[in-house]
Structure 1
């Protein structure tokens, strides 16, 4: 056999061997790719995404699309060939598996956490939108979760309203932790609460629950990575009542990143102005009750997904601007926003064609 032929055959066999090895070698990585985008102003799976009753609504046009990212499942084992392909591909991102599923988190745990974050983002979107419109919203601090085998288990329950801690009125969720950590582990702390079922009955009857009772809990020592402190094993959150009904109908989506676009969709439906002027606007970003927009993960993939669906403008959280601008899809204008007010101002500029005034994202932010 000629030497050249033998060399080519050996090289081919070596390549085949490497490819075969790559297929069977698992690597500790996961993949992210552009997911679906959904117009918050339109229908999804046959029903409106935003459903408002008890208040006058107005026609809308154009798009205010929320965007998503697909991720491989927690138990998916990527091989070396797939990882290399993902690293080279423009429309996907390969990241360490622990980035998406830290501390051995299971698929079920991740799904549950994402569902909770999605639900909270919906509530914050409603509050931020109504505050922007000057519509009053009633809020109160609640027990959000109770850890198993913690001092609070069986003593406090999710949905209980926290009126005071040690006699000091609670006005915000952060107040609870501040008051508890004034104690040393092993000391008693007194929660003044309205039980969840009493609060639910009062809300249903459009009344204010007034009957409270005290719950005394003995604090324990924290065992997390933070400084040692007294804990009772709960997380506090906020619940609200609205003067009319706002339902967000969108299944199979998780995480907090659609908050901004939900809030803008609600504002659009409740005001006579057509916010987009018929333009295709997409975006992303968390939102809090005060309308502050926060950063999200996978922004580079969300811009790709948005542009592939026809988006012309992408509302981008300020802290995501630099990452998004590094490889922005052609034809997509990245607009920097830090609050819902910023986003509404940008939409006005887009609507009237004053795009030169838009605060655009750059590689510096």
Structure 2
């Protein structure tokens, strides 16, 4: 039988590698990214001194409200995210721990990822312009729309770009603004036929929207549950599936007539 001193020494010796293993696990990099609410931008106005939407070949309106696209920001693909970071952020409502591949699905380097996101943004802007002009029955040969939004990539602003173009060219169709003077935010991809697609990160995007004054948030219908998970007080969710459903909901909100869907 080991003496008391010998047993104590044995426990101490065994504890050393366990402590070392725990320390390694805590500080070793893991394949995760930590995301949080990012910036928002009013597509009906200017961002960093440049108008987001400009129109040639047609008279542009000056809407009174705001249509704010929203973003999230995440730790970079080369950032070291440890077990301590994961545990520390897991239960925070203003943070999300996400698989790195879900945040950066394409490219191995920061430059490749930036190129991919820029290409997605360009495609999103082209689709938004096509969808808006098609909705309004205008020819792209006669009306030219230019979209500029610095330091933002990806396709998730597509719906808001489209609504912004419509509001600048047409409003609600009866002399009023689509926003009804409100601050409206939202997210969702768009295709040339006006179909709205899911984007991810909506629970963080709703927080960014409310922080910057939005009272209504347009969300792809498929992401209603995620959007409701951490919904800020004072923010109304409106699910959308198509451009037409988004416009109809905004007009109903503005006029105070008709039904407006909810999550």
Flag whether TM exceeds 0.5 (same fold): yes
Counterpart in 1 of 2:230? 327
| CA spacing shift, 1:278–1:76, aligned 2, 3 Å | same
Distance in 2, matches of 1:27 and 1:45, equals: 35
SS at match of 1:111: helix
1:65 aligns with 2:68: yes
Q: Distance in 1 between matches of 2:208 and 2:143?
A: 34
**2:28 is aligned with 1:25:** yes
Alignment match, 1:136: 139
TM value normalised by structure 1? 0.62
Contact 2:93/2:230 (8 A) holds in 1: no
Residue 81 of structure 2 corresponds to residue 78 of structure 1: yes
CA deviations 1:204-249 (Å, max 9, x no partner) are: xxxxxxxxxxxxxxxxxxxxxxxxxxxxxxxxxxxxxx42221111
Match of 2:147 in 1: 248
Distance in 2 between residues matched to 1:60 and 1:18, nearest whole Å: 60
Q: Deviation of residue 325 (structure 1)?
A: 1.8
Matched with 1:50 is: 53
Deviations 1:89-122 (A, max 9, x none): 1111001222223476222211111111100000
CA distance in 1, matches of 2:191, 2:235: 26
User: CA 1:103 to 1:344, structure 2 compared with 1: closer, same or farther past 3 Å?
Assistant: closer
1:127/1:251 Cα in 2 relative to 1: closer, same or farther (>3 Å)?
Answer: same
Which residue in the other structure is 1:266 paired with? 165
From 186, 190, 196, the equivalent of 1:293 is: 196
Count of residues paired in the alignment: 242
Partner of 2:259: 357
Evaluate the alpha carbon distance shift between residue 278 and residue 320 of structure 1 in structure 2; reply closer, same or farther with a 3 A threshold.
Answer: same
Counterparts of 1:58 and 1:29, CA distance in 2: 44
Which residue, 154, 169, 185 being the options, matches 1:282? 185
Indicate if the aligned counterparts of 2:89 and 2:97 stay in contact, CA closer than 8 A: yes
**Gaps in structure 1 of 5+ consecutive residues:** 1-13, 138-241
Mapped partners of 1:247, 1:268: distance in 2: 15
Question: Contact conserved, 2:106 with 2:116, CA < 8 A, in 1?
Answer: no
Larger radius of gyration, structure 1 or 2?
1
- Normalised to the residue count of structure 2, the TM-score between the two structures is 0.86
Higher strand share: 1
Deviation per CA, 1:335-354: give whole Å up to 9, x if none. 01111111111111221234
| Higher helix fraction (1 or 2) | 2
2:37, 2:211 → 1: CA distance? 10
Structure 2, unaligned runs of 5 or more: 1-15
